[in-house]
C-alpha cells in the first residue's frame, strides 16, 4: 500500500519538475542562442538576435529628401482667346474719317502709331458724334481730327465709341521773324547771390513756338437732338398714344429683353418684355464684347445699356447682360 502511494507521489513530482528542467539553459550555451529542450537534440539552434546599438539613431537626420511627384489629375486651365482690341481708351489720337468700300460702316484711320494691341483702323459706332464727323468731312474731305473714345470688339472686328472730337488744325509755316533791334545794355545793381543770365530773344521765340505747337485743339460738341412735339391730332385718347421715345443718352437699367435678328438680317435687336401692349419697338444692338457674350445665353436677359441716336434711329449699346432666371415668382 505504501509502495503504491510512493509511486504516485514520485510520478506527480516528476511531471512538475521535468518541464522546468527542460527550459533551463545549459552552461555551455552561448549568449543569445535559444536553449534546446532536453530530449530534442535534433532541433537546430536559433540565430543570435542583433545586438542593441549603443546610441539610438535619429530618424530626422537619416531621412532622405522627399521626392516631388507630379499630380496625376491636373485641371486644365482654359484661357479666353485674345480679343483683337482691348476695351480701353484712345486719347487725343489723330485720325481721318473714311468709308468702307461697299459697306455701311464708317471707320477712323489713325495717322499716328497707337500703343500695342490697337489696330490702325476702327469702325465708328453710330451716334451724334458720327453725324458730326460726316458733316465735317462733307465740308472738307481732307479734314483731320483728334478723337478720344472707348474701344471694343465684336467677332474679330475693332470698333470705337467717340466721346470727344476736335478738328486738328495743321501748323502753318510762320514767316521769318525780323531780327530784334539791339537792346541797350542797362547795368543792374549787383544783388546778392548768383547772377541771373537774361534769356535771349531766340530762346524765347523757341519756347513760344513749342507751346503753340502742343496747344490742344478746341473740342467740337454735337448739337442736341430737337425734341419731338406732342401729337396734336384731335380725338386721340391719351391712354392709346404711343409713348415718346427716350432721348439719346438715356440709360436703360435692369430691363428684360430677348435677343433676335432683325428682319433685314443686318442687326441683332433687343425685344423688350414689359407688357402685352407692344408699345416698345425693338431696338438694334450696337456691336460690342457684351453683345458677343450675351448671344451665347439662351432665353431672357436682364440688361443695362445706353441709348444712342443716329439719323433719327435709336440704337442700344449694352453695358451689362445677365441671364434672367425664373425664380418661381408670380
pLDDT in tens, 29-86: 555 455 555 555 566 666 666 666 666 656 555 667 788 877 777 677 777 666 667 7
Question: Can you tell me which residue has the cell 486738328?
Answer: 168
Report residue 189's pLDDT band, with 50, 70 and 90 as the boundaries.
low
CA angle 190, 191, 195 (to 5 degrees): 85
pLDDT in tens, 297-307: 988 999 999 99
What are the residues whose beta carbons fall under 8 Å from the beta carbon of 242, sequence distance 6 or more? 279
Is the model more confident about 224 or about 160? 160
What DSSP string describes 188-247? PPP-SSSPPPPPPHHHHHHHHHHHHHTPPPPEEPPPPPPPPPP---TT--GGGSPPPPPP
Residue 155, Ramachandran bin (φ over 0: left; ψ between -120 and 50: alpha; else beta): left
Helix (H) and strand (E) counts in the chain: 5, 11
In order of 123, 154, 298, the CA distances from 295 in angstroms are 21, 11, 8
Residue 277's pLDDT is 60
Question: In this structure, what C-alpha cell is assigned to residue 166?
Answer: 476736335
Is the model more confident about 219 or about 280? 280
Average pLDDT over residues 105-115: 90
Is the model more confident about 44 or about 98? 98
Q: Would you say 300 and 258 are in contact if contact means Cβ atoms under 8 Å apart?
A: yes
HSE-CB for 21 with a 13 A CA cutoff: 8
Please say if the pLDDT value at position 316 is more than 70: yes
Looking at every residue in the chain, the average pLDDT score rounds to 74
Amino acid at each position: 500500500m505504501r509502495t503504491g502511494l510512493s509511486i504516485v507521489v514520485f510520478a506527480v513530482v516528476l511531471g512538475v519538475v521535468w518541464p522546468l528542467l527542460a527550459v533551463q539553459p545549459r552552461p555551455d550555451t552561448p549568449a543569445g542562442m535559444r536553449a534546446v529542450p532536453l530530449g530534442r537534440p535534433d532541433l537546430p539552434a536559433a540565430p543570435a538576435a542583433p545586438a542593441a546599438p549603443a546610441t539610438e539613431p535619429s530618424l530626422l537626420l537619416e531621412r532622405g529628401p522627399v521626392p516631388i511627384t507630379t499630380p496625376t489629375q491636373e485641371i486644365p486651365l482654359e484661357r479666353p482667346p485674345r480679343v483683337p482690341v482691348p476695351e480701353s481708351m484712345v486719347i487725343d489720337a489723330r485720325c481721318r474719317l473714311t468709308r468702307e468700300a461697299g459697306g455701311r460702316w464708317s471707320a477712323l484711320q489713325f495717322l499716328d502709331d497707337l500703343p500695342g494691341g490697337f489696330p490702325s483702323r476702327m469702325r465708328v459706332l453710330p451716334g451724334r458724334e458720327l453725324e458730326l464727323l460726316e458733316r465735317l468731312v462733307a465740308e472738307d474731305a481732307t479734314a483731320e481730327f483728334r478723337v478720344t473714345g472707348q474701344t471694343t470688339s465684336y467677332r474679330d472686328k475693332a470698333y470705337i465709341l467717340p466721346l470727344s472730337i476736335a478738328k486738328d488744325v495743321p501748323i502753318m509755316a510762320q514767316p521769318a521773324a525780323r531780327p530784334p533791334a539791339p537792346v541797350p545794355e542797362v547795368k543792374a545793381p549787383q544783388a546778392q547771390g548768383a547772377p541771373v543770365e537774361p534769356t535771349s530773344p531766340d530762346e524765347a521765340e523757341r519756347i513760344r513756338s513749342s507751346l503753340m505747337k502742343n496747344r490742344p485743339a478746341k473740342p467740337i460738341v454735337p448739337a442736341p437732338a430737337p425734341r419731338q412735339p406732342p401729337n396734336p391730332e384731335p380725338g386721340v385718347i391719351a391712354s392709346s398714344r404711343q409713348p415718346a421715345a427716350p432721348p439719346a443718352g438715356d440709360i436703360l437699367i435692369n430691363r428684360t429683353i430677348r435677343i433676335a435678328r432683325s428682319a433685314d438680317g443686318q442687326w441683332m435687336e433687343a425685344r423688350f418684355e414689359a407688357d402685352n401692349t407692344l408699345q416698345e419697338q425693338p431696338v438694334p444692338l450696337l456691336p460690342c464684347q457684351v453683345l458677343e457674350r450675351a448671344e451665347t445665353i439662351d432665353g431672357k436677359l436682364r440688361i443695362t445699356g445706353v441709348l444712342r441716336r443716329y439719323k433719327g434711329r435709336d440704337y442700344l449699346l449694352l453695358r451689362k447682360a445677365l441671364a434672367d432666371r425664373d425664380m418661381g415668382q408670380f
